[in-house]
Amino acid sequence: MKVGVALIPSHDTIESIIELQQKIITICPLYPILYKTFNLPHLTLLQGRFDNSINWLTLILNLQDYWQRQQYSQKYKLIKLEYKSPGWYFLIPQQQLIFLELHNFVFSALKNNLFVTEEDLNKDISLYDDLEKNNYIKYGYRYIGNAFYPHITLGQTIDKSRDPNQADWIHLVESFTAKHIIKLERITVYQVGEHGSHAKILYSVKI
């Protein structure tokens, strides 16, 4: 089982992102479908396969304490849409450095507990850049260290390529990012589902 550590937005933000995806998929089908109770919109700090020695609740309580000591805000603007091969569309938040610092905190605590299986190594990573490939081969996750890429996933296209009709729906994203400030409310440890989704909450604390 793959496990992730993520930041979860407020109920209102979750509803707004789900509504945005529902509008887009009438033009460009995306997966996984986001919901309020599973496949939650989220910002992943780390994801992978971990040994059984981790006290997950202690980890996220330590991360909660770190967040509060650093006096990070809970509110952020989503500034743009980005495409990432193969077929992914992401909402990108401002204040990238803050999320990199949170990622580094989690990765530093867990890097020696990560492992990779033969199944992981059989995955096609030909469209990853060199640093992402090295991360995936070593840790089973592409967005680590200098390759960390803070984002909230809107979804992946069916054919895993850029939508040629993106111009027909980009205005929906631009309208969304112009109006919405997201509020991050929880830190979760979650079971990773299909397409890297936030399938099931295993542990959760408020920020």
Domains of the chain are 3-206 (3.90.1140.10)
Averaged pLDDT, 170-184: 95
Is residue 177 predicted with pLDDT exceeding 90? yes
Going by pLDDT thresholds of 50, 70 and 90, the confidence category of residue 124 is: very high
pLDDT averaged over every residue in the chain:
97
Averaged pLDDT, 112-123: 97
Averaged pLDDT, 105-122: 97
pLDDT of residue 28: 97
3-state secondary structure the chain: CCEEEEEEECHHHHHHHHHHHHHHCCCCCEECCCCCCCCCCCEEEEEEEECCCCCHHHHHHHHHHHHHHHCCCCEEEEEEEEEECCCEEEEEECCHHHHHHHHHHHHHHHHHHEECCHHHHCCCCCCCCHHHHHHHHHHCCCCCHHHCCCCEEEEEECCCCCCCCHHHCHHHHHHHHHHCEEEEEEEEEEEECHHHCEEEEEEEEEC
pLDDT of residue 92: 97
Averaged pLDDT, 165-194: 96
Please give the Cα distance from 134 to 147 (Å, whole number). 10
pLDDT of residue 145: 97
Please give the Cα distance from 45 to 103 (Å, whole number). 5
Is residue 140 predicted with pLDDT exceeding 90? yes
Percent of the chain with pLDDT over 70: 100
Please give the Cα distance from 71 to 151 (Å, whole number). 21
pLDDT of residue 132: 98
pLDDT, one tens digit per residue, over 60-104 is 999 999 999 999 999 999 999 999 999 999 999 998 899 999 999
pLDDT, one tens digit per residue, over 38-68 is 999 999 999 999 999 999 999 999 999 999 9
pLDDT, one tens digit per residue, over 145-169 is 999 999 999 999 999 999 999 999 9
Structure tokens at 27: 């033009």
